[in-house]
Amino acid sequence: MTAQVSEKLIYGGKEISLFTNPLSLYLKNAGISFQSPHTANWRGYVGTWEILEHDGVERLYLVRLSAHKTYEEILSLSDVFPGHDKVFAHWFSGELRCPQGAQLEYRHMGYGSIYEYDLLMDFKQGILVHKHARHNEVPKEKDEKDYPEFLRRGPQ
Amino acid sequence: MSYLMEFLSSVSLFGLAWYELLAIYTVPGVSYALFHLLKEFRNRPSEFARGMLAAIGKKKSIIDHLINLSAYSIASLCIAFGWPLFGIWAIFQSRKEAALEIERNKPDFDCLPEYLIVKVNPVDAEIASYVVDPLGTVPSLPFGYLNQGWVNFLADMLDPNDEMWSFHIPKGSLCGKHRFAATSDMRGYAKVRNGEILGEFITEYD
């Protein structure tokens, strides 16, 4: 599977990559699916998210959407959520992962690539409850013996 | 040997001799073996495939052909005489395949019975579901933006025996038909009938 184009998060005035798809539960519930325009975007959309603060509570909002109804026809946020210019992701409980810094290792799969840091934000029903950063290291090169026996190549 | 011949000569049913009875007995097995031999013959590698195999040094030798011939002969004899056993085996196999097909076609729900918490009244669930958003972006409907999923879930609860249960799947717990680990806490409601989960509506997930 090809590495996937990330979602975007506006955080601290900057737009950063977001390696989580908070919209997926909404789409599943509403029975909506989009057309994949290419192999780096199997989900068929890219959402831009923003954390907005009100009375000391930070909430996650979807503020922009670019979704492929067909290969040519692209829907925006107001097409999917008529009458809304932002959408509170109250269904989202879990962790947002935002990669930061240099790419330490490219992985040709989903959001598998490893970066220097991950900014991790925990949400409960769309409300930010905790955030922290994780320092990643270059993964150790795997040797033949690190794999289970059934995955080894055997005599060459 | 003479005892055997004497015994066989004495065997008779409906005026048929032992060899005629044996021939009748082997008819289904021989037919079955012939059917499969014919199928094998029709599925033999094409001229092109044989050429490719020869090119990569995998052309069959005379010995290979002789081994194949004896294997097919022994298999045909086994089927001709042991066809009742093969028939029983085929019935078991088809039943096993049918059971697997049913399992494969079962809908895949994340919730498992061990994650059910308590039976819930849909009205109470709706009252507790309204979302507070100071920016006023969320529609004032039960479960906000997930209302369509809720409506579909309720519309599917038609049987009088259907019960609605709340559920909570803790992060890392095994869930779904394929027992994948949940990537975050998951909450929602399940449609339960006679202890079996027949539907689910997830309200929180990552």
Contact criterion met (CB < 8 Å) for B204 and A26: no
Distance from CA of B206 to the nearest CA of A (A): 5
Per-residue pLDDT at A152? 79
CA dist., res. B162 & res. A90, Å (int): 28
User: Pairing relation of β-strands B174-175 and B180-181?
Assistant: antiparallel
CA dist., res. B3 & res. A141, Å (int): 77
CA dist., res. B9 & res. B192, Å (int): 68
* A57 touches A127 (CB < 8 A): yes
Q: How many CA atoms lie within 13 A of A17 on its CB side?
A: 15
What's the CA angle centered on A129, arms A25 and B142, to 5 degrees? 40
Per-residue pLDDT at B15? 77
Q: Which residues, in sequence order, are bridge partners of residue B16?
A: B13
Per-residue pLDDT at A117? 93
10-residue block means of pLDDT along chain A (156 residues)? 91 92 92 93 96 94 96 94 93 94 89 93 95 90 81 70
Contact criterion met (CB < 8 Å) for A93 and B133: no
Q: Work out the average pLDDT over B53-64.
A: 84
- Which chain B residues are within 8 Å of A129, Cβ to Cβ? none
User: Pairing relation of β-strands B186-193 and B196-204?
Assistant: antiparallel
Select, from the ranges A63-67, B76-80, B108-112, the one with the highest average predicted confidence (pLDDT): A63-67
**DSSP state for residue A90 in the 8-state scheme:** T
- Of the candidates B192, B187, B184, B189, the one whose C-alpha atom is nearest the C-alpha of residue B168 is B187
Contact criterion met (CB < 8 Å) for A94 and B205: yes
Q: Which residues, in sequence order, are CB contacts of A99 under 8 Å at separation 6+? A: A6, A17, A19, A113, A115, A117, A118, A119
Q: What is the pTM of this model?
A: 0.73
Distance from CA of B38 to the nearest CA of A (A): 37
What's the CA angle centered on B142, arms B171 and A69, to 5 degrees? 75
Q: Nearest CB to B138: which of A29, A88, A93?
A: A88
DSSP string, B89-132: HHHHHHHHHHHHHHHHHS---S--GGGEEEE--HHHHHHTTPPP
Contact criterion met (CB < 8 Å) for B185 and A25: no
Please check the confidence at residue B114 and state whether its pLDDT lies above 90: yes
CA dist., res. A54 & res. B136, Å (int): 12
- Tally: H helices and E strands in chain A: 2, 9
Per-residue pLDDT at A44? 96
Please state the ipTM of this predicted complex: 0.82
Contact criterion met (CB < 8 Å) for A93 and B202: no
Helix (H, G, I), strand (E, B) or coil at A86: coil
Per-residue pLDDT at B90? 86
- How many contacts (CB atoms, under 8 Å) link A and B? 77
